[in-house]
């Protein structure tokens, strides 16, 4: 199956990072989600009950991302992936990309981040 729901550019202010000022002040993060699910029924019925609510996914991802102050983006992305798989049984695979555009790196760059893909066992 190759049905995908995607959410791009979810902006969240959070206090993740290794450096003290990152956890004190926080910064802007951007999350992209790719969710694999069987959308064949909802594509025929046009009923929300037959698919996954984007709004509910955003709420779940936001809560998971902001629940704790993680040191690593890998852990923050993992928390989002775990929450989505736990909250939405119709989703079989989730791909989470967390962008940290203002990472404290002494260089000029457009973006840094991580992408994790997790599937149901």
Catalytic residue ranges: 100
Q: What are phi and psi of 15, to 5 degrees?
A: -115, 55
Q: How many CB atoms lie within 10 A of CB 73?
A: 22
H helices of 20-97, in order, are: 20-25, 40-45, 54-66, 73-87
**What is the 8-class DSSP label of residue 50?**
G
How far is Cα 38 from Cα 26, in angstroms, rounded to an integer? 37
């Amino acid at each position: 199956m190759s049905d995908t729901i995607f959410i791009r550019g979810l902006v969240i202010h959070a206090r993740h990072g290794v450096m003290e000022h990152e956890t004190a002040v926080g910064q802007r993060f951007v999350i992209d989600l790719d969710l694999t699910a069987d959308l064949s029924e909802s594509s025929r019925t046009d009923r929300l009950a037959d698919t996954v609510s984007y709004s509910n996914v955003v709420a779940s991802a936001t809560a998971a991302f902001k629940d704790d102050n993680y040191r690593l983006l890998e852990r923050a992305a993992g928390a989002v992936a775990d929450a989505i798989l736990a909250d939405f049984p119709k989703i079989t695979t989730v791909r989470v990309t967390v962008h940290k555009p203002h990472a404290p790196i002494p260089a000029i760059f457009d973006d840094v981040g991580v992408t994790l893909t997790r599937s149901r066992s």
